[in-house]
Amino acid sequence: MNSRFKRAFDWIAQQDLAKLEPGKFPVDGTEVHVSVSQKDGLKTSDAKFEAHNNYIDIQVCLAGKEQMGWKPRSTCTQPVADYNEEKDIIFYKDQPDTYFQLQGGQFVIFFPEDVHAPMIGEGPIKKLVVKVKI
């Protein structure tokens, strides 16, 4: 496991997750940082299919129901554009192999080999994303 996971999960454990407002929260400089968002869910066809090279995502559903798509990066062959180093993101035209759903209090961890389509759902979804440097 990544040595920075402890800092990430300690930060999560110290928060009153129900009261977290949308925004960005530094945890450990560029090594671990958090963003909280609250937005309406997207249709499956509108969700961005993305992956990261330098950070691991710990995505926590705080409220609502969030469906996510997933596919191994090794099988994705249709990048939308080149990798954006500044934003640590690449998008794909490929379609997920599988979908799963998170409810309030559940989380998922995406590594660089995981291409994922977050924020699929109906109604408001409140979520927390911890970016953990590799």
Mean of the per-residue pLDDT values for the chain? 97
- pLDDT over threshold 90, residue 123: yes
Q: How far is CA 100 from CA 28, 40, 46, 70, in A?
A: 30, 18, 16, 8
State whether residue 44 is helix, strand or coil.
Answer: helix
pLDDT, mean of residues 109-131: 98
Name the nearest CA neighbour of 76 among 46, 115, 120, 109. 115
- pLDDT tens-digit series, residues 46-59: 999 999 999 999 99
Name the nearest CA neighbour of 131 among 11, 31, 38. 31
Domains of the chain: 5-133 (2.60.120.370)
129 vs 67: CA distance, rounded Å: 15
Give the pLDDT score at 51. 98
Q: What percent of the chain has pLDDT over 90?
A: 99
Name the nearest CA neighbour of 57 among 115, 98, 101. 115
pLDDT, mean of residues 13-25: 96
Give the pLDDT score at 1. 78
* End-to-end Cα, the chain, rounded Å: 10
pLDDT band at 15; cut points 50, 70, 90? very high
pLDDT, mean of residues 77-81: 97
134 vs 131: CA distance, rounded Å: 9
- pLDDT over threshold 90, residue 107: yes
64 vs 97: CA distance, rounded Å: 23
pLDDT, mean of residues 92-106: 97
DSSP 3: T
